[in-house]
Amino acid sequence: MSQWIKACNLDQVKEGQLFGFNTNDKKILLANQKGNILATDLICTHADADLSTGFLSEEGVRCPLHLSIFNLETGEPQNLPAETPLKTYNVKIEQDEVYVEV
Ligand code: FES
């Protein structure tokens, strides 16, 4: 059964920023893409790189290790070498706090 967990305060993931955190057995990435906060798995599906140390662009998050780009809404990789999508999560904002459904 899923539950909403607090990820961070809204000011910890400002526009254009990435934010990674751990909860229970999951590692999750938050990305603020033009004011829209999206959540995916934190670890690249190719070779375990931490995507919070990558780069955010209009296309998605670019892995810092081998430069695959993942669409943040679908989790789908846009280029090789990654082939497996990231899991995506629902996000809600309440009273300047960011929550993720896990
Ligand atoms: S570890 Fe991310 S593309 Fe290789």
- Cα of 53 vs centre of ligand 1, distance in Å, is 12
pTM, two decimal places:
0.96
Q: Which atom of ligand 1 is nearest to the CA of 45?
A: 2
Identify the structural domains of the chain with CATH numbers, from first to last.
Answer: 15-92 (2.102.10.10)
Q: To the nearest 10°, the Cα dihedral for 14, 42, 75, 49?
A: 120
Distance in angstroms (rounded) separating the CA atoms of residues 25 and 13:
22
- Cα of 94 vs centre of ligand 1, distance in Å, is 33
pLDDT at 70: 98
Ligand 1 atom 4: the closest Cα is on which residue?
A: 66
pLDDT at 24: 79
Phi-psi region of 12 (alpha: psi -120 to 50; beta: other; left: phi over 0): alpha
* Run of H or E residues at 4: strand 4-9
Distance in angstroms (rounded) separating the CA atoms of residues 35 and 43:
23
CA 94 to chain centre: 19
Query: For every one of its 102 residues, what pLDDT tens digit does the chain have, with 9 covering 90 and above?
Result: 889 999 999 999 999 999 999 997 899 999 999 999 999 999 999 999 999 999 999 999 999 999 999 999 999 999 999 999 999 999 999 999 999 999
